[in-house]
Amino acid sequence: MRFVTYRPKNEQASSLDHVGVLTSDGDRIVDLTADFGSLLTLIDRGDEGLALARKRLAEVKEIVPLADVALRAPLPEPRQIRDLMTFELHYQQSIAAVARMRVGPLAPLARVLGIAKVPSVWYEQPVYYKCNRFSVVGPEADVIWPRDARLMDYECELAAVIGKTGKDIPRARALEHIFGFTIYNDMTARDLQLREMQGRLGPAKGKDFDTGNVFGPWIVTRDEIDPYGLTMIARVNGEERGRGYSRDMYHRWEDVVAHISRSETLHAGEILGSGTVGNGCGLEHRRFLEPGSVVELEISGIGKLRNRLVKP
């Protein structure tokens, strides 16, 4: 099933969010708002919630044409966002790109870091940081260029939505805790990010700005997708900028869930980003965004996530 959060186009912007499930043709939404109120509520109800959603989908009542709604991020306020770095090629190419930038806004970092290869700890365990869960937007929303940023970038990621709370989750049971998958565009101010990370902490303001975390267009439930069989494509203004594959994750979702939940409760409604797929951002090839750039991320089995970057 594919779950959405939306608002009817004919309602005011201040109207409440609706939750729904797409019909098999993908052109209509069965409204589930009366049953759940929000997608987080549905997730919290576990198997019971999914069973009721399937029942409503089979009944095909309260149908809304997809063309008549404005999609929001599936989880407009997730309980937590953690973003990983699980693709080796992205890490390698990013290191090489920064090393070549000996002049300009990235020069200080290139001189200070002196990194020539992926550090050994990256291979030993999944690494991640926590994002601002209040800066989430969805499909077609404008991403606002943050003040003081000069180099803006996109990041094409696969995101897992946790559906079952747990602690010390064994690797063999880890996938059972994933509700489904969506697309994540982790928008980044590269110059701000790389400047602040000279302090060996972060990222902070390079990632934390309103509209910086983009998710959508919907969540596809785990039973309908192979998370290791997906093609991931990034386009800017209609031009393909990069293509990669989810099969290249060095740390698999089983490893990620088991690691994060070690001595810590992982809650339903949290989002885990895979990190950027190889060739999935501009930094790797030193091609950054301009004001007005339209970024479209596509992941097979899920769909397309499209947004415009706007500089006030």
Q: How far apart are CA 126 and CA 216, in angstroms?
A: 24
Best CA proximity match to 293, nearest among 307, 272, 305: 307
Burial of 244 (0-12, 13-18, 19+ CB in 10 A): buried
- The Cα 278–Cα 90 span in angstroms is 4
- C-alpha count within 13 angstroms, C-beta hemisphere, residue 220: 20
Query: Over the stretch 131-169, which tens digit does the pLDDT of each residue have?
Result: 999 999 999 999 999 999 999 999 999 999 999 999 999
Q: What pLDDT is recorded for position 212?
A: 98
pLDDT for residue 114 is more than 80: no
pLDDT of residue 187: 98
The Cα-based distances of 281 to 144, 232, 245, 253, 292 in angstroms read: 18, 11, 14, 21, 17
Give the pLDDT confidence score for residue 13 in this predicted structure: 61
* pLDDT of 215 higher than 90: yes
Q: Look at strands 2-8 and 265-266 and give their pairing.
A: unpaired
The confidence score (pLDDT) of residue 1 equals 98
Confidence band, pLDDT 50/70/90 cuts, at residue 99: confident
Measure the CA–CA gap between 9 and 24, rounded to whole angstroms: 22
DSSP 8-state symbol, 87 = B
Secondary structure class of 115 (helix, strand, coil)? coil
* Residue 93 predicted with pLDDT over 90: yes
Tokens, residue 267 = 């809650």
For the chain, domain boundaries: 2-71, 80-310
Q: Is the pLDDT of residue 117 over 90?
A: no
For residues 60 and 81, is the Cβ–Cβ distance under 8 A?
Answer: no
In the predicted model, what is the mean pLDDT of the chain? Answer: 93
How would residue 46 be classed by pLDDT, with cut points 50, 70 and 90?
very high
Under the banding of pLDDT at 50, 70 and 90, the label for residue 126 is: very high
3-state secondary structure of 221: strand
d(CA 177, CA 180): 9
Amino acid at 18: H
What integer pLDDT is reported at residue 105 of this predicted model? 56
Residues 6+ apart with CB under 8 A from 191: 105, 106, 149, 150, 151, 206
Q: What average pLDDT score do residues 276-302 get?
A: 97
User: For residue 199, what pLDDT is reported?
Assistant: 81
- 117-122: average pLDDT: 92
Q: What is the CA radius of gyration of the chain?
A: 19
- pLDDT category at 102 given cuts 50, 70, 90 is low
Condensed to tens digits (0 to 9), the pLDDT of residues 258-283 reads: 999 999 999 999 999 999 999 999 99
14 — pLDDT class (breaks 50, 70, 90):
low
Q: For 277, how many CA atoms within 13 A lie in the half-sphere containing its CB?
A: 26
> What CATH superfamily classification does 80-310 receive?
Fumarylacetoacetase-like, C-terminal domain (3.90.850.10)
What pTM does this model have?
0.95
What is the average per-residue pLDDT within 18-22? 97
Q: Is 90 exceeded by the pLDDT of residue 75?
A: yes
Amino acid at 171: R
The pLDDT of residue 82 is 98
